[in-house]
Each structure stands twice: as structure tokens, then as C-alpha cells.
Structure 1
Amino acid sequence: MTVLTAPTVRGGRTRAIRLRPRSVLAIVAVSLAGVVAFGWPLIVDPGTALGHSTDAPLLFSLIMPLLLAVVLAEISEGGLDVKAIAMLGVLSAVGAALRPVGAGTAGLETVFFLLILGGRVFGAGFGFVLGATTLFASSLITGGVGPWLPFQMLGAAWVGLGAGLLPPLKGRAEIALLAAYGALSGLLYGVALNLMFWPFTTGVESELSFVAGAPVLDNLHRFLVYSFATSLGWDIGRAITNIVLVGLTGSVVLRTLRRAARRAAFETPVEFTPHTVRPSDG
């Protein structure tokens, strides 16, 4: 006879994907590589060959899919069961369907609030995988596959991961926390993607241009001017969209996802106890 006990939900959150130490190390490693990939114009030594070239994003766009594949494989080996895969598939499909609704027009990104709420309920590991798979699936639908896709996947994975690491709160305080996180993550996601596109979008001989081999502070000044002049409005639009969607749907979606988590019982231990067969049972 199988005996099931109620799952332990810490702070309204369960772990649909259990992260082992090796999985955590893999996420840390790919995140550090991602920081270098996004921020290479500002952190690569100007004296190196890479610092004098704009080929770095192309190089990183080839490396990042391999790193993400290694992380996803490591996570799946550590604790990705059938129920977690099913939930991941459902939420990834919903996110992929939601993304074309906004299509990024004026910063109206309708997918990030779901990554935030999913990561909040199902944990940091689930949020990381959900961000990556959702952006991958939505790019296949919208035809947005290109060198930028690995950067978008990692950025979205960070958004879901961070949501799963937020401190436990309840009620309106939790919604306020998630809305604030949605605003901050929306802005930072835009800044990160700007770094990836910046060296290619402004040409040369401009106050906004990336200058290969220039001192870090000079390029940082140029990047900040570029961001304020070209994309701040879009990033603010993404932040406001996250605030509005989390505020309007957060309570309902959180209840729905937590109900699904309780029924799936991701963390429920399964114990087998001996059953004595009596003559009358036969």
C-alpha cells in the first residue's frame, strides 16, 4: 500500500525541480559565462585581440547554446520527473503563446510575468528552465531565431531563477514584492540585451558607438547615453507591463499554480508499508 503525505510548501513555494550541488555549480558557471558574454564590451581587456573586435557576440552566440544544453542536461539528470516535465511543457506553451500578443511593441512584453509567477511557485531551478524553454519555444513560433536567441534565453532564465529565490511573503506583500521584482528584472533584461546589440547598431564615429579597445569608462559612458537615447522607453514599458500583469493576475495565477503543485505533489515522499493479506481478503 502506498502512503502519501502532504507536500511541504515553504513560503508558498515548492521545488518542482530539485537542484543538486552539481546542478547549482552548472548554473553558476553558465551565469558567469553569461555575464562575460553580455558585458564583454565593458569587461574585456582592451589590450586583447577580443577587445579590438566586434566578433565577440558571434563567438558567445555559438558557445552559449552549448553551455545552456549542459545545464539543462545536468538539471534533468538531478531531479526532473514526469510531473515536472508536464508542468514545464504547459507553462512553456502558454508563455510561447502569450509572447506574440505584445510582440515587444513599445516594450509590452507579456511573457515575463508568467516566468516570475512560475519561478515563485515552483522554485528557482524550475524558473531557470522555464525561462530558457519559453523563450526558445516562442522564438520558433515568431521566427525570432538568430544569434540573439541564446542571450534572450539566458536573460529569461535569470528572471525565472531570481523569482524562485525571493524571500517568502504572503498576501498583498507578496504581490507587491513580485511586482517590484518584475519592474527591476524588466529593466535589467533590457540593459543586458542592449549590451549584446550595442556594438552593431550605432556604426562608427558616433557619441553612441562602441569603440573597440577604448577605456572601460569611455565605453560605459557611451553605452549609458545609447541606452537612454534608444531603449529606455521600451525598458520602462516592459517594467510597467510586468507590474500591471502581476498586480492584476498575480493572486489568481499563484493560487492556480499552487493548487496544481499540491495535486502534483512534487516533494511528496512515497513510502511503501507492508500489507498483510488475510484469508477473508481472498
Structure 2
Amino acid sequence: MTPTPHPATAAIRLRPKATAAIVLVSLAGLIAFGWPLIVDPGSGIAHGGDAPFVFALLLPLLLAVVLAEISEGGLDVKAVALLGVLSAVGAVLRPLGAGSAGVELVFFLLVLAGRVFGPGFGFVLGATTLFASALITGGVGPWLPYQMLGAAWVGLGAGLLPRARGRVEIALLAAYGAVAGLAYGWLLNFSFWPFAIGSGTGLSFVPGAPALENLHRFALFSLATSLGWDLGRALTNAVLIAVTGTAVLGALRRVARRAAFDATAQFTPAQDQAPPPMVETAP
């Protein structure tokens, strides 16, 4: 007999409005990350250094809209408690690696939790984990919204992966963790690349240049500056998922079964009971 894939457990149900909010915020996020490739060369934003700050102010507002939509009827007490616990664990894990040589211990947990509890939970967990970690480490700044959205996408994507089981599932998650680690680093590079090294070099952002030319410059910049860290993050994700994936997935799925997120509460009216008969006693 061929084992059947594990059924998905949606700790947070994505209703149509919440799904639409995530899609819109993701589109806005792509613009926030990739604005150097699409900005009008005649605009002040192409020559100034305020673009990351503008988007850093907009992204938290958009994320707040998503969280509000998700919490409206789709977030119960059990999901909130689980979200708090896993966010705290991730916030503690992140400083342990401190990004040294790209070793970051938080992303494998986002991948595994998003896999078990669904894309909505993974999206929220990514954002809250990075936010909690920034509060602990003092890493609050204009880069934080970009980190939160990037991590949210990592958790979201893990919840959208096709079903699998056993070694195939672990291999799928390890490969996804490696790709997500690389993509996360490259996305964050977009938020500061135009102002990182100034102008006049082969790696610099050139306002008004064709998108392909700037994309080529960005690729060279990433290869020259952050490839080592990105590969370290990708390798860390893949190794941790391969080594701990079976145990962690099993533990998270036991939590999901006990929490019974998919169960629907049913209330039945109490049946009217006849009063006990009166017993008359002789005087």
C-alpha cells in the first residue's frame, strides 16, 4: 500500500477577504522590493535615499490590514496561543545564529510550521517572529518591514507546497528551505542596493537604465557581497530540515490533532427535564 499524504491542518482559515488582502500586500511588497527596476528616472525617488523609508512606512500598514482580515473570524484562541509560542521560539532561535556566515536558525521553523498549519498561519508566523526577534535584539529600523514581509512569504510558500509524505516530504521541504534562503537574501538586497555603494561602479544602480541592465548589475552586486551569507542560510535551512524535519513535523502534527483546528463547535439545547415527583408522607 502506498501511504497517503498527511492532510493539511489549517490553523488559520483564509477567507476570501483575507486571501485578497494577502495578494494585494504581496503585490505592494514586490513593488517595494523591486522599485529600482520600475521607477521613473525623472522622479525624485530614483535619485534620493528616501525610498526604503517610504516603503518601510507603508508596509506595516498593509501588514496590519492583512492581520486584521485574517483575525476576523479566522483566528481562534488556540491558534493565537500556538502563534505566540512559535513566535517566541523563533525569536529566541534567531539571535543564536546571529547571521554569522549566513547561519540563521529561524527559517527552518517557519517552513515546518507553515507546512503543518497552512499558508495563512505561515504568513502570520513569519511576520510576528521577525517582529518579536527585532524587539529582543534591538533590530528595529527601516529594514524590519522588509524582513517581516520576506519571512511571511517563506511561511506562506511552505503552506502552499504540494502534499507528500515520508522522505519525499522531507526532501521537498529541504529543497524549498534552500531556495527560500537564497530568495530571502536577494529580496532584502533590493531594499538597500541602490544606496549601498554609491554610483559610478559596475555594481551601482543607474536611474533610467533599462531594467535588464540594472538587474544584471544587481545580480553582480549580490554575487559579490552577499552570496556567502545567502548560501549559508540556504545550507542551514536544508540541513536543519533534513536532520530535524521528521521529529519536528511529528510534534507539530500531534499539536494540530489535539488542538482540532478543523473541528466545528456544536451546541445542543439542554433537554427539558421533568421535575421529580412529589412524595406525600403521612402526618
Shift of the 58–45 alpha-carbon distance from structure 1 to 2, 3 Å rule, reads same
Q: Secondary structure at the match of 1:126?
A: helix
Report deviation, 1:275: 5.6
Of the two structures, which has the highest relative contact order with CA contacts closer than 8 Å and spacing of 6 or more? 1
Q: Kindly indicate whether residue 177 of structure 2 is the aligned counterpart of residue 201 of structure 1.
A: no
What secondary structure sits across from 1:168 in the alignment? Answer: coil
> Deviation digits for residues 201-258 of structure 1, max 9, x if unmatched?
1122211111223222221121111011011111111000000100111000101000
Query: How far is 1:199 from its partner?
Result: 1.3
2:176 aligns to what?
Answer: 181
CA distance, structure 2, for counterparts of residue 181 and residue 281 of structure 1: 66
The answer to whether 1:133 aligns with 2:121 is no
Q: CA deviation at 1:269?
A: 1.6
Partners of 2:168 and 2:121 in 1: CA distance: 23
The worse-fitting range, judged by mean Cα deviation, of 262-271 and 169-178 is 262-271
In 1, Cα distance between equivalents of 2:53 and 2:154 = 23
Bigger CA radius of gyration: 2
Assess if the C-alpha contact under 8 Å between 2:102 and 2:230 holds in 1. Answer: yes
Partner of 1:6: none
CA contact (8 A) 2:5 2:165 kept: no
Match of 1:69 in 2: 64
The aligned amino acid for 1:200 is F
Residue 207 of structure 1 aligns with an amino acid whose one-letter code is G
| Letter paired with 1:159 | V
Name structure 2 gaps, 5 residues minimum.
278-283
User: Using the alignment, how far apart are the partners of 2:276 and 2:251 within structure 1?
Assistant: 41
Which residue is 2:234 aligned to? Answer: 239
Cα distance in 1 between the residues matched to 2:173 and 2:276: 54
Identity of aligned residues (%): 69
TM-score under structure 2 length normalisation: 0.92
Query: CA RMSD, aligned part only?
Result: 1.9
Partner Cα separation in structure 1 for residue 129 and residue 244 of structure 2: 19
Q: 2:209 — aligned with what?
A: 214
Give me the whole-angstrom Cα distance separating, in 1, the residues matched to 2:50 and 2:213: 20
Q: How far did residue 54 of structure 1 move?
A: 3.4
Residues 281, 11 of structure 1: alpha-carbon distance in 2 compared, 3 angstrom cutoff: farther
CA deviation profile, 1:110-142 (whole Å, cap 9, x unmatched): 000000000000000000000000000001111
- The answer to whether the Cα contact below 8 Å between 1:46 and 1:215 also exists between their aligned partners in 2 is no
Separation in 2 of the partners of 1:10 and 1:180? 18
Deviates more, 1:262-271 or 1:252-261: 262-271
Q: What one-letter code is carried by the residue in structure 1 that aligns with 2:149?
A: L
Q: Secondary structure at the match of 1:227?
A: helix
Whether the 8 Å contact between 1:23 and 1:78 is mirrored in structure 2 is no
Runs of 5+ in structure 1 lacking a partner?
1-8
Q: Does 1:95 align with 2:90?
A: yes
1:250 alignment partner AA: G
Task: Report the secondary structure of 2:263's partner residue.
Answer: coil
In the alignment, is the contact (CA less than 8 A) between 2:112 and 2:158 conserved in 1?
yes
- Letter paired with 1:59: V
Change (3 A) 1:281 1:146: farther
Aligned-partner SS, 1:45 = coil
1:20 equivalent to 2:15? Answer yes
Instruction: Give the aligned partner of residue 280 of structure 2.
Output: none
* Matched residue, 1:54: 49
SS at 1:271's partner residue? Answer: coil
Q: Distance in 2 between matches of 1:22 and 1:276?
A: 39
Q: One-letter code of the match for 1:210? A: F
Secondary structure, in 3 states, of the residue corresponding to 1:206?
A: coil
Do 2:5 and 2:164's aligned partners in 1 also have CA atoms closer than 8 Å? no
> What is the TM-score when the length of structure 1 is the normalising length?
0.92
* Partner SS, residue 164 of structure 2: coil
